[in-house]
Structure 1
């Protein structure tokens, strides 16, 4: 991997157990998978920190806002960003509804119906990822695949099972 690219990435993501609601085993599994996928492949550049990382991301919730605490791998503080989740409320609700439809459809629906629902699901996921990228503008630069993985994690934090 290119040294420059290797330094602008997340090396770990941590969830604050005090502020993020405890979850069932299934939801914890979804969160773990989302974190693994994000850490496995990402592009993450806090604006104004041109020295590079890699970075640790600590996520917590304060008054229904997502707190993104960014530190170097060594633990040195880089930045803290507070992200209102209000702009995501509708998209997350719609995303969960279509995911429920998808899981029901795979039991009995035709392949073309399943594919149509999945296309809608992917479209909503893309829309949520674009909203996330625009909300992070001027704070954190990410590529679109990283924004998708971060959006997946935000959804996993809201999933009720």
Structure 2
């Protein structure tokens, strides 16, 4: 891999504080944000971009909902996002574990790579499918799940 590649990964504390909350049957909240930081040979310090996800609502056993993602590039140059991944990392309900038996997060369905303008925001054309399996425990009804999202990107050469 070249020096221009960077893997965007947040610390565990940042993921816990800023991960996307997936609400099952709860009131509307604004988009959640994860700031992804990657080490690079960049003069100004670490490179970073934000992934903003629209909370998924109304999940019931057997249903599949689409979690839309926006990429915010606060940097003064274009970046290309090559890969997005997501996984269930936590839940707010005792007795409802954050496992694939209770909530499943699939691979991003859209086309990548995507280029994001300098100081720009791009809503991605695809989505991350989220589903509650039919066999999910009853204690998960109405639970809020935390989904950790990460991405891999690159600075676009001039």
Normalised TM-score (structure 1):
0.32
If each structure's helix is expressed as a fraction of its own residues, which one has the higher value? 1
If each structure's strand is expressed as a fraction of its own residues, which one has the higher value? 2
